[in-house]
Structure 1
Amino acid sequence: MTDSNTETRPASKSIRPLGALLPFIRPYWRTLLLALAALLASSAAVLLLPIAVRDVIDYGFTAEDAAEVDRYFLILLLFAFLIGVFSAARAYFVNWLGERVVADLRNQLFGQVLAMDMKFFEVTKVGEVLSRLTTDTTLIQSISGVGLSIVLRSTIQFFGALTLLAITNFSLTLWLVVLLPLVIAPVMIIGRWVRKLSAESQDRIADASGDAGEILNAVQTVQMFTAEKAEAARFDRAVRLSFVTAISRIRARALLTTVAMTGLFGAFVVVLWMGARSVLAGEISGGELGQFVMYAVLVGASGGALVEFWGELQRAAGAMERISQLLVQKPEVVNPIDAKVLVSQGPGRIELENVSFSYPSRPDTLALDNLNLSIKPGEQVALVGASGAGKSTLLQLLLRMFDVSSGSIAIDGHDVRTLDLASLRGRIGIVPQESVIFGISA
């Protein structure tokens, strides 16, 4: 999560990082089952529709009774109704699940960030953290909601239609299966390129967000030194770099889509041409060819949707990988086992013994060097010194925002590293130099 890590972070080589979403999905297994039931029902209706179309062509058009024709078309209308109802149910349950999962993910991620110690924020841009909370979770939302629905529906319809194609006409299906690998191979090669560019694009967005957060957090300083143009130019460079990377990703995605769609439907045109010749030769009926055409279109559309969405899955996998890196981080400043609670009515003696400290972002520079200080109960002590002399640092160490590099700080004879953090910080009154007004109290 450091700046250097942002530059060198490898792209996700698979969609396995999305498996980290399972603990967030598991509590809502009932909704998931309802979504899967609606998905199976709608897919079954779609897969049975070509059979109804075959019967309409072979029997409905040749029926002498108009009522017989009406019956076949009423069956088609029934299929259309079932597809609409089950598709709506699927969309509702899957989208609800996606929104709920991402809401839980954002809450856990934000809670994790709040629990991190100051060392984490010393080496991590706030803007990058915000990018994980917003941009990356939005990508996850698109996958766990609409994306999951598309992937599952397309997978079921692709293999279901392919199986029914083989049942309808095995020889034509065999030709289709032979041609498909010629399409899939270049798609997989270009897909790796898209995955790499997707990860780079997300990192450039995080960089721009980090720069913006850094500038806005110090906007008063920027204005006092009339550095608005310089900082605007710096942000513009970050945005332009993000744009250039995004355009490269878009071009790669466009090439991927072109190759996939052209190859898939090109293969189907060849197979359908052979089917048309089979009809002329009397080997199959017109209804069977119509059924084969519809299944071929389903295979093409479903396969195309899977290929089109594969890039989105890879982007989401990269986003989840970065989120997981945050979720597994542990703060170094934590409550010790068997933490002691600081007595509220204690005398309040403070002892600093041989305290040395350097900030994580500047490990070679000592902010405090072998400091010794004793403050008796009731004694008033003022720390005076030049800017950067370590006055604020001393207070941060007393509050245990950081742990000392060496030495010890004790309150009433208890090393602060052995105390419960809430009781320690609750005993210390603070009047900040610059007050922060949160939006909820503004």
Structure 2
Amino acid sequence: MSEPSSAQHENTRTIIRWLAAFLSPYKKRAFAAIFFLCVGSLSWLALGQAVKLVVDEGFLSRNAAELNKMVMVILAITVVSGIATFCRFYLMTWLGERVSADIRKAVYHHLLTLSPAFFAKERTGEVISRFTADTTLLQSVVGSSLSMALRSTVSVLGGLVMMGITSITLTGLVLLAVPVVLVPIGVLGRKVRRLARISQDKVADLGAHVDESLHEIRTVQAYNHEQSDIRHFDGRVESVMQAARLRIRYRAALMASVVLLSIVAIVLVTWLGALNVLEGSLTAGQLSAFMFYALMVAGGVATISEVIGEIQRASGATERLIELSRMPQDIKEPQNPVDFPAHALGDITFDNISFTYPGDENNAVFESLSFSVKAGKRVALVGPSGAGKSTVFGLLQRFFDVDSGSILLDGIAINDLSLDALRKQFALVPQESVIFATSVLENVRYGDPDASEQAVIEACVAARAHDFISELPQGYATELGERGVRLSGGQKQRISIARAILANRPVLLLDEATSALDAVSEHKVKAALDTLMENKTSLVIAHRLATVVNADRILVMDNGKIVATGTHNELMASSPLYREFAALQLVSEVDEPSSRLVAK
């Protein structure tokens, strides 16, 4: 039992230190909130003494003047308490919102530094759940529940002190019941925290399923998979409900046991106090004040027991956020990055590269891969699926680090360049264009966030996209919807090419952008690509004949190796694998002569 308890304490300390780091910039507001919290609690404690004086000096002595004065004192204390409550509530709620916002920013900033390997393992929907639901829960706790817990703690401690001043004997009897009350808080509280973590994990899993099914809604509906997904979703919802039911049961037991034990203790002690009043050893005013403080203590303990479940639940959420914010970056920045010009020449060298994807160490992608690309040249990569073509792109941009060997850009190892400087040298046009749920202007400007509107228009003209953009309802201000649902495949590709033209980077990585287009769209996209590739070093994953015949050199890849290199004509004459690939994927008429293919 000692080891889990120790781990629990360590987790609690970690959570407190982590949250304190976010609260630190707002120390003045935090101290002000605590000050007003104490003022409000002390006001209520002072009210107990006023009640005592009203009973003993005003009511029992039949002194109307003293009674009137005490009533005015009570009203004054109430006004002070009201002002303090306003200030405390405003400041604590503001802190909750501010800390939650800062945590969201910190976690998001960190997420953008993680490599694709992390997102290949983690489901995006689960990450989003941690990012949104967990921070919202934390906001509620910092802004509300924590405030209630602190206020109640001050009230309980202050109430116990005032009870002691009123009657040390009765207070001693109350304190005897404290260990009994703390038992359910300790035992059930840890259980609530563990179940809260399980519940949050199941909610995150649910979010991941929703994200996945809605993202692929066309596939879901095309295969009439709605009812199957509904059953799957309903099962996950019930799993969430089952975890929540158990957590709620323990939390309800925690609250009920604390309130029951506290009230029973106070009733018994008040009964003894009433006997003391009858004996004359205690005044009616003193007993009234003692009961007032006892009820305040009981109410405070009840509030603490109520919010402790919420705090334990937030602890589980915070642990998940800490895990996300401390997820190690597997792509490290160099300690002393080499200075590099804004625009590289574009010489690329793969020198004896060996590489396996993380978590798949038994399946090497490359073993001793070597090739070079001269600045300004167009090089096509061809080969069967799984040959390693896309992996070349990922390694060039350091989305993954090689196991051995080195990749050079203009003679400098890319590991010696800052990630920012390195990735500024590449413009990527993927096979499936990425369109964001914003305007045409902002989608193109993604290649250069500071570009003027005129520069965006010029890039779109060069990408053969201006005409169709002008026909959209709001032109360049038209919102394109999630993942560009309002555009055709060819239009998406031309937006993507315009983005790369605007970025104006020296090395182009093109995952054949015309492979899935109709003839008209292909012609327009090809014209845009020709404009894009002028005076650039271009690496192209090729699926079409027009790409390879215009390449300065073709690299034929198979099982992570380069098995042949040359021009289209040279490879048609010398490489059986290339001829087979050309027959299956690059030409429509297998028996067509090579010279005629080139003419095309």
Please indicate, yes or no, whether the TM-score normalized by the shorter chain is above 0.5.
yes
* 1:296 Cα deviation after fit: 0.3
Match for residue 252 of structure 2 among 254, 257, 262: 254
- Aligned partners of 2:194 and 2:316 also within 8 Å: no
- Aligned partners of 2:57 and 2:63 also within 8 Å: no
- Aligned partners of 1:18 and 1:320 also within 8 Å: no
Alignment match, 1:160: 158
Alignment match, 1:101: 99
Alignment match, 1:296: 294
Does 407-416 or 35-44 show the bigger shift? Answer: 407-416
- Cα deviations by residue, 1:196-222 (Å, 9 ceiling, x for unpaired): 211111111122223333444444554
SS in 1 for 2:354: strand
Give the alignment of 1:328-339 within 5 angstroms.
Answer: 328-339=326-337
Distance 1:419 1:229 in 2: 51
Alignment match, 1:82: 80
Alignment match, 1:21: 19
Alignment match, 1:6: none
SS in 1 for 2:405: strand
Question: Is 1:237 paired with 2:235?
Answer: yes
Question: Is 1:178 paired with 2:176?
Answer: yes
Alignment match, 2:582: none
Letter of the 2:375 counterpart: P
SS in 2 for 1:381: strand
Distance 1:11 1:94 in 2: 30
Structure of greater relative contact order (alpha carbons < 8 Å, 6+ residues apart): 1
* 1:12 Cα deviation after fit: 4.7
Distance 1:113 1:15 in 2: 24
Match for residue 338 of structure 2 among 333, 336, 340: 340
Distance 2:403 2:237 in 1: 39
Distance 1:15 1:143 in 2: 15
Letter of the 2:322 counterpart: S
CA shift in 2, pair 1:347/1:181, >3 Å: closer
Distance 2:182 2:23 in 1: 31
- Aligned partners of 2:96 and 2:140 also within 8 Å: yes
Does 362-371 or 40-49 show the bigger shift? Answer: 362-371
CA shift in 2, pair 1:385/1:213, >3 Å: farther
SS in 2 for 1:366: coil
- Cα deviations by residue, 1:168-218 (Å, 9 ceiling, x for unpaired): 111111111112222222332222221221111111112222333344444
SS in 1 for 2:379: coil
- Cα deviations by residue, 1:304-350 (Å, 9 ceiling, x for unpaired): 21222222222222222222222223312133123234445544222
- Aligned partners of 1:128 and 1:210 also within 8 Å: yes
Does 197-206 or 123-132 show the bigger shift? Answer: 123-132
* 1:243 Cα deviation after fit: 1.5
- Cα deviations by residue, 1:77-117 (Å, 9 ceiling, x for unpaired): 11211111111111111111221111111111110111112
CA shift in 2, pair 1:218/1:401, >3 Å: farther
Distance 1:209 1:341 in 2: 44
* 1:229 Cα deviation after fit: 3.7
Distance 2:341 2:17 in 1: 46
Alignment match, 1:53: 51
Structure having the higher helix fraction is 1
Give the alignment of 1:34-433 within 5 angstroms.
Answer: 34-64=32-62, 66-344=64-342, 346-433=344-431
- Cα deviations by residue, 1:41-62 (Å, 9 ceiling, x for unpaired): 1111110101101111112114
Distance 1:74 1:155 in 2: 28
Distance 2:257 2:63 in 1: 48
TM-score by length of 1: 0.91
Letter of the 1:38 counterpart: F
SS in 1 for 2:112: helix
- Aligned partners of 1:12 and 1:195 also within 8 Å: no
Letter of the 1:15 counterpart: T
TM-score by length of 2: 0.68
Computed over aligned residues only, the root mean square deviation of the Cα atoms, in angstroms, reads 2.2
* 1:255 Cα deviation after fit: 0.9
- Aligned partners of 1:12 and 1:314 also within 8 Å: no
Letter of the 1:161 counterpart: G
Alignment match, 1:3: none
CA shift in 2, pair 1:137/1:286, >3 Å: same
CA shift in 2, pair 1:107/1:388, >3 Å: same
Does 289-298 or 387-396 show the bigger shift? Answer: 387-396
For structure 2, the residue ranges without an aligned partner over 5 or more in a row are 1-5, 440-478, 480-600
SS in 1 for 2:378: coil
SS in 1 for 2:429: coil
CA shift in 2, pair 1:395/1:178, >3 Å: same
Letter of the 1:278 counterpart: N
* 1:388 Cα deviation after fit: 3.3
Find the structure with the greater CA-based Rg: 2
- Name the % identity: 38
SS in 1 for 2:384: coil
Does 22-31 or 208-217 show the bigger shift? Answer: 208-217
Question: How many residues end up aligned between the 2 structures?
Answer: 433
CA shift in 2, pair 1:366/1:73, >3 Å: same
- Cα deviations by residue, 1:216-260 (Å, 9 ceiling, x for unpaired): 444455455544444443333332212110111011111111111
- Aligned partners of 1:165 and 1:292 also within 8 Å: yes
- Aligned partners of 1:164 and 1:295 also within 8 Å: yes
For structure 1, the residue ranges without an aligned partner over 5 or more in a row are 1-9
SS in 2 for 1:410: strand
